[in-house]
Copies of this chain bind each other. A is one copy, B any other.
Amino acid sequence: MAYLDCSQPDCSSVQGAVLSARSGGAYSASLQDFGAKVVQYSPHDVVYYEGDPSDRLYELTSGSVMLFKLLPDGRRQVVEVLRPGDIFGLSTGDEQDCTAETLSVATVCALDLQKVEESSEIQRKLMYCLSAQMQKLHEHAVLLGRKSAIERVASFFMYLVPDRGGARCQGPAEEGTQDLRLIVLSMTRQEIADYLGLTIETVSRVISDMRRRGLISVSRHDEIQLNRVCDLCKLTGMH
C-alpha cells in the first residue's frame, strides 16, 4: 500500500517531472515547493475513488496513473493515462469525477486545495498543465469516436514514442538504420481495452496481427518492440 514520505525537496525524480511540462514556461515549480505531501504508491493502488471529496490537488512525479469512470453495470472507461508532470484530482464540484489508480510504482504530490486558492503561481502552472491535458483528451475523443481497432492500438503505441508521430516528426533517425523502438506498456490487456474503448479479445487479436505482420515483437506481455515505427505510425489513421 501507500506509505508516506514527508522529506521535503532534494528528490531527484521531481526534476524529471518538471521538465516534462511545457518547456520554456515560467512556472518551473513542482507542487512540492509549496509544501505538498509526497506519497509513494505500489502498482494498482487507488489514490482516490470517484465520489471521494475533492480537497486536494495531485501531481504525478514518477510512474504512471490512470483515471477511469465506471457505469453502474460495470462497464469501465479509462479516460486518462497520466505521465510524470501531469496534474489530477481537480474537480468542479466537491467530489472526484474519476477513480485514480496507479499503473506502476508511482510518486504523487498532494497539496491542499486551499493552498492552490492562495497561490497564483500554482494557478498559472495549472493553466498550462490543464490545457495540455485537454489537448490529449481531444485527441483521445477522436480515437474513441472515429478510429478502427487497428488505428486505436497503433495510436496507443505511438503515444509511447514521445519524439515520433507528432506534427513535425523527423521520420527514422538515419538512412539505413533500423527504425526500432522498445516500449513498456505497464498496463494489462484489460486496461488497454478499457482505455481504447475495445474488448480485451480485440486488443489481443490486433496485437497478434501486428506481430504476424512483423510490425512488432512481443518480448514480455507489456514490453513491445516496434520494428518499423514509421510503418506503425501510418496505421494510426493520422497520415
A75 touches B140 (CB 8 A): no
Instruction: Given the known inter-chain contacts A130-B130, A144-B144, A144-B145, please indicate yes or no for A238 contacting B120, CB distance below 8 A.
Output: no
Interface residues of A in 146-178 (CB under 8 A from B): 146-147, 167
Number of copies: 2
How many of A's residues come within 8 Å of B, CB to CB?
Answer: 48
Q: For A71, give its contact among B77, B135, B146 (CB under 8 Å).
A: B146
State the CA gap A232–B117 with chains docked (Å). Answer: 39
Q: Which residue of B lies closest to A122 (CB)?
A: B127
0 or 1 for each of A113-133: is its CB under 8 Å from B? (1 = yes): 000100010011011101111
Instruction: Given the known inter-chain contacts A124-B123, A131-B90, A135-B91, please indicate yes or no for A197 contacting B144, CB distance below 8 A.
Output: yes
Q: A226 within 8 Å of B by Cβ? A: no
Q: A205 within 8 Å of B by Cβ? A: no
State the CA gap A233–B146 with chains docked (Å). Answer: 25
Interface residues of A in 181-236 (CB under 8 A from B): 194, 196-197
A72 touches B120 (CB 8 A): no
A16 cross-chain contacts in B, Cβ below 8 A? none
Q: A31 within 8 Å of B by Cβ? A: no
**Residue among A72, A138, A141, A144 with the highest chain B CB neighbour number at 10 A:** A141
Q: For A144, give its contact among B130, B141, B237, B238 (CB under 8 Å).
A: B141
**Residue among A67, A95, A135 with the highest chain B CB neighbour number at 10 A:** A135
B237 touches A71 (CB 8 A): yes
A237 touches B91 (CB 8 A): no
Q: A101 within 8 Å of B by Cβ? A: no
Instruction: List 14 other contacts, CB 8 Å, given A91-B135, A144-B144.
Output: A71-B142, A71-B237, A77-B142, A77-B145, A79-B141, A92-B128, A93-B167, A123-B123, A123-B126, A133-B134, A134-B137, A137-B137, A144-B145, A145-B194
